[in-house]
Structure 1
Amino acid sequence: METLQKLSRMPIWLTVPALAILLVVFGVPMVLLFLTSLNAPALSIVNYQSFLIQPANVRVLFQTIEVSVVATAICLLLGYPMAYLIAIASKHLRAVLIVLTFIPWLTSGVVRTYAWTVILGDRGLINSLLLKMGLISSPLELIYNRTAVYIGIVHIMLPVMILPLLSVMMGIDKSLMAAANSMGARPFASFWRVFFPLSLAGVRSGVLLVFVGSLGFYITPAALGGLRDAMLSNFIASQMAASIDLGPVAASAFILLGIAAFALSIFGLNLSTQHGVVVQKERKSWQLSLLAFRSVTVHVNEVAASFKAARWRVQLYQAAGKGNRSKLIGIFFMVAVMIYLQFPGLIVIAMSFSAGAVLEFPPSGFSLQWYRSFFGDPTWTDAFWASLQVAIIVAILSTIVGTLAAFGLSRTSPRVRSFLTLAILMPITFPLIVVGVAIYFGLVKLGLIGTATGLVLAHSVGAMGTVVVIVSANLSNFDRRLEQAAMSMRAGPLQTFSKITIPLIRPGIIGGAVFAFIHSFDEVVVTSLVSGFSIRTLPLKMLENISNQIDPTIAAVGSLLTVLPVLWLIALYFTWWKSRPLARKVHAEPLI
């Protein structure tokens, strides 16, 4: 009996609901899917051989890797200086820039892809303006090519690169660079030798997230690319639609997963919250990889040292003209990136008020006809209510289960915490199409394909991971001595949890619920695989209209979904703002 009581008090049991859903819907089906790819129980690699011996399949595979690598490189080239400029900006400007970066990230990927079809199409914004100005006589081929695919993917993934870089950069002590400058180091030298090595943890996280996310892109290549720009996700989706044999589909999915696993093995998935340890490991690995290069450059630096010292003495008291020029370049770059992030959404909003029979920019007149079409068409409203109902249930389920899991993980040993956290976060670290295939396989076994229950479970697999990340971040700053003080004053565990723990982590819980809702409401890839023909959510309805390009009502829907993230951010801000006085009062509130 005492043993059972001790086991019941172990916080690791709080992770059981999340792990149970994960195992039933994703984990066990993933193992079974792998066995299916090997033609179990025969256990052969014929499905992998069939994939690799076909030149067209190999071309799609290498094309997927190429697109992902190039998109990741572009995101890094744009995201790193953008994150640096945000980090060194003033407090109020930084807040504005972070919000402007968040808004596109929270906007539906389907909406952003649609926006680029409107901008780059033959009758789109760019071609229409050029034709009216007389600069071209026929539309330019701006869409259905590789360049359009890169534009769309980078637009969606750039915030994913900026945010982890920014989180690391804001934690770097800026006085270190000032100290380097005071010792005679030029600005670029102090940045390269001091700031850049300390920011490598953010570089690694951003590169990993963008690369793995790009591997699973499905909608954007199909909408913006041509037949020669298909990626492996499109190939897998077409296999599932055309064949009932899951063996080749499973093999294709695990080949894609193998690429993601290779990226994880190179960059690693660090779950540590100790920034100094991360930076130290990053610097060590980079020093080993650059040792040969530095052994050569050290001799060059010794020869040039005297010339550098003389030049530094000459430039020490010169006017800061170059500094002003660098500042102007930084401002121009920041404005250009922000226009790139915000412009597609603004165009969709403007075109949704068009009075013409077709979408046009600038609008020939102001009209609400497309909004009336949306609210008056049962197919659109039914899709909206279906998405809303599923998203609310997913948010409630994921928030409860994810919060319990995060609380239990924060009370377990570091090794167990790392292992279980990695298991819970697998669905949001794997390519999305692979996750969708595994969930489809699991729901087929459970007989839940095409049901609301199956759709809720499918969305909850990823939403739980989002809640765990957000609530765990909140718990990492939680002072457990407050709970101990409450218990020392004879407060019970439930009373301590309700009066101490909940008020302090409430912003994280609400934030997790909001992001779980957004995750479900905007989900389209997994939904397209598991919803069957009985459930049509709003993203699926939008995807159908993008493919057919017959209903301009999608502009009104896109406009509403573009404005929606602003409401989420306002709600999160007021949640955080109202939680501050509550957190301050928690010390003074009587516990018994």
Structure 2
Amino acid sequence: MQPLQKIVRAPFTLVLPALAILLVVFGIPTVQLFLESINAPNVSLNNYSSFLAQYANIRVLFQTLEISAIVTLICLLVGYPAAYLISTASKRARMILVVLVVIPYLTSALARTYSWIVILGDNGLVNSVLLDLGLISSPMPLIYNRIAVYVGMVHIMLPMMILPLVSVMMGINTSLIAAAKSMGATRSTAFWRVYFPLSMSGVRSGTLLVFVICLGFYITPAALGGLGDAMLSTFIAAQVATGFDMGAVSASSFVLLAIAIAMLSVFGLNLSGVQNPAPKQKGGWSERFGILRAIKGYLKELSVASRARRWPMDLYRASGSMGLSRFVAGAFLALVISFLLFPEIVVIVMSFSDGATLQFPPTGLSIRWYVSFFSDVAWYGAAWVSIKIGFWVTVLATVVGTLAAYGLSGVRADLRSSMTMIILTPITIPVIVVAVASYFGLVNLGLIGTETGIVLAHTIGAISYVVVIVAATLANFDRRLEQAAKSMRAPPLTTFVRITLPLIRPGIIGGALFAFIHSFDEVVSTSLVSGFSVRTLPLKMWENIRNEIDPTVAAVASLLTLLPILWMIALYITWWRARAPSGVALEGKV
């Protein structure tokens, strides 16, 4: 009996439910897809050669890489200075700015994509304003082109670049910058030689995250782009929807997966934030010629001496450009926040229009489109289906993910790292690959076209979010509290329920909220697994956007935009209630 109890209490045992779900729904189907792509057991590369032999496939592949790279570069160029300004702001301002960045991140990607259709369309905000001002005589083609795709994708991915950068930058010791300046370094030199290298782990994480997720983008390019802006994910989804050539689908999916794995392998090796020593510069053109090297050294010594003499005066002299610099920095940050929030505000305002078509500003105010949503069974029925599926996904992912996070906290560091990466696979590779693998996995289980199948397809990604958030909470958990309870002969289950669970409850609630949001906003996997028999709210929205452009979508999008605010309030209340007992205890001691 004791050996059985030891097995049950082993940390690895707690991870098994999460691994089992991941293996059945995603792992085994992925292996089957790979074997199908190489025509196993008669191993050949015919499917890959057929894919590469078609010029259209090669063009779509390079187009996918190009769009993903450009979106990633734009997000980095905009996100890095924005993250720097947020991290250097006062504590209260930083908290407000981070919340303003998180709200768009939690908002439905489908709703945000729709907001750009409203803004950039022929009858949208931009064209309406330009026509009213008499600057143009006919609507400009601002949508269904590559620029619109870039705008929509950058809007969705920018928070994913900013948040990792802010997290890393807040951990940088700014006294190192002051030390560099005290040694005569200019402000720019101190930034590029000290601060920027220390922030490279955030740059690497944000860039890798944005690029890999962009590889699997499906909704935004399809909604905002033209026929010449299709990405490989759209191509794969069309193959699944129109045919049953598993070999071709598998080869296309694994081409995209291979690119993602290559990026993760090359740039994901060091995400710990530990900085490598500065590399030695060799072979520069000035190093090859003795006289130029001497001149360079002499000028460097002169500049160092000059800066050393000037530094005491600069240190105590008020700079006249500080006011201008702060104004420029504030204006830039305001533009970034406006870019993230303004489209959602436009949709909310336009959802109260009383006209038959959407206009900004509305000619009159009305709630007719909200009434249309709550009175049309097709709309509120789809919403109820999404709520039911989201509820069961939340329950399953929260229980399994919390057990997995708690179990991982008790295993060896090397094993914990490997198992964590396995569990996080569904959210670290292109979503279309996860959707295709889940589709074929649920075909094996006979669950295509069922709500149970959709719940399982959503759960594999939701578990990843729960594990990340709960594991972060457990990282600050004092294990000595558990040891104290066990020393007083408390059983393991009692220790977990009475000691551990209350202390990590904010992380569990946060993970549950993210699991629900992940399920409620899922479109790609749902579109493949639903089998045209289960209609969730995102699927209803997607069909309406592509076919009708019913103004009721604006009301739905505005409701989905307000949803993250409710999540933030719930998280704050949870955090406040978690802190309240400790504050009361401290007051009692005083």
User: Do they fold alike, i.e. is TM over 0.5?
Assistant: yes
Contact 1:60 1:231 in 2 (8 A): yes
The one-letter amino acid paired with 1:90 is: S
CA drift at 1:585:
7.5
Contact 2:162 2:206 in 1 (8 A): yes
Contact 1:503 1:582 in 2 (8 A): no
Q: Distance in 1 between matches of 2:284 and 2:535?
A: 56
| 2:301 counterpart of 1:305 | yes
CA drift at 1:140:
1.1
CA drift at 1:198:
1.0
Question: Unaligned stretches of 5+ in structure 1?
Answer: 273-277
Q: Distance in 2 between matches of 1:84 and 1:319?
A: 23
Percent pairwise identity: 62
**CA-to-aligned-CA distance 1:122-145 (integer Å, 9 cap, x gap):** 111101110110001111111111
| 2:39 counterpart of 1:39 | yes
Change in 2 beyond 3 A, CA 1:510/1:321: same
The one-letter amino acid paired with 1:287 is: P
What does residue 534 of structure 1 align with?
533
**CA-to-aligned-CA distance 1:488-540 (integer Å, 9 cap, x gap):** 22222122212211111110000000000000001111111101111100000
What does residue 266 of structure 2 align with?
266
Q: Distance in 2 between matches of 1:205 and 1:302?
A: 40
What does residue 494 of structure 2 align with?
495
The one-letter amino acid paired with 1:442 is: G
Contact 2:442 2:448 in 1 (8 A): yes
Change in 2 beyond 3 A, CA 1:559/1:71: same
Change in 2 beyond 3 A, CA 1:298/1:459: farther
Counterparts of residues 460-499 of structure 1 (less than 5 Å): 460-499=459-498
What does residue 243 of structure 1 align with?
243
What does residue 222 of structure 1 align with?
222
CA drift at 1:350:
0.5
CA drift at 1:293:
5.8
Change in 2 beyond 3 A, CA 1:291/1:230: farther
Contact 1:351 1:555 in 2 (8 A): yes
SS in 1 for 2:63: helix
Counterparts of residues 117-136 of structure 1 (less than 5 Å): 117-136=117-136
**CA-to-aligned-CA distance 1:387-430 (integer Å, 9 cap, x gap):** 00000110010000000000000000111111111110001101
Q: Distance in 2 between matches of 1:302 and 1:73?
A: 38
- Structure 1 residues 480-489 or 462-471, which shifts more? 480-489
Counterparts of residues 371-450 of structure 1 (less than 5 Å): 371-450=370-449
Q: Distance in 2 between matches of 1:67 and 1:470?
A: 31
| 2:342 counterpart of 1:343 | yes
- Structure 1 residues 237-246 or 535-544, which shifts more? 237-246
What does residue 561 of structure 1 align with?
560
| 2:157 counterpart of 1:161 | no
Contact 2:204 2:271 in 1 (8 A): no
Q: Distance in 2 between matches of 1:298 and 1:383?
A: 72
SS in 2 for 1:128: helix
| 2:234 counterpart of 1:234 | yes
Question: Unaligned stretches of 5+ in structure 2?
Answer: none
Contact 2:474 2:504 in 1 (8 A): yes
What does residue 279 of structure 1 align with?
274
What does residue 357 of structure 2 align with?
358
- Structure 1 residues 179-188 or 115-124, which shifts more? 179-188
**Normalising by structure 1, what TM-score?**
0.95
CA drift at 1:121:
0.9
Q: Distance in 2 between matches of 1:534 and 1:71?
A: 35
The one-letter amino acid paired with 1:305 is: E
Change in 2 beyond 3 A, CA 1:312/1:368: farther
Counterparts of residues 310-325 of structure 1 (less than 5 Å): 310=306, 313-314=309-310, 316-317=313-314, 318-325=317-324
What does residue 93 of structure 2 align with?
93
**CA-to-aligned-CA distance 1:159-198 (integer Å, 9 cap, x gap):** 0000111111111122221222233222211111221111
- Structure 1 residues 496-505 or 228-237, which shifts more? 496-505
| 2:122 counterpart of 1:113 | no
Contact 1:450 1:534 in 2 (8 A): yes
Kindly tell me the number of residue pairs found equivalent between the two proteins.
580
| 2:138 counterpart of 1:142 | no
Contact 1:271 1:418 in 2 (8 A): no
Change in 2 beyond 3 A, CA 1:399/1:586: farther
Change in 2 beyond 3 A, CA 1:301/1:330: farther
Contact 1:499 1:586 in 2 (8 A): no
Change in 2 beyond 3 A, CA 1:551/1:407: same
What does residue 203 of structure 1 align with?
203
SS in 2 for 1:559: helix
Contact 1:18 1:464 in 2 (8 A): yes
Contact 1:36 1:246 in 2 (8 A): yes
SS in 1 for 2:513: helix
Contact 1:117 1:124 in 2 (8 A): yes
Q: Distance in 2 between matches of 1:437 and 1:232?
A: 13
CA drift at 1:43:
1.5
Q: Distance in 2 between matches of 1:76 and 1:375?
A: 41
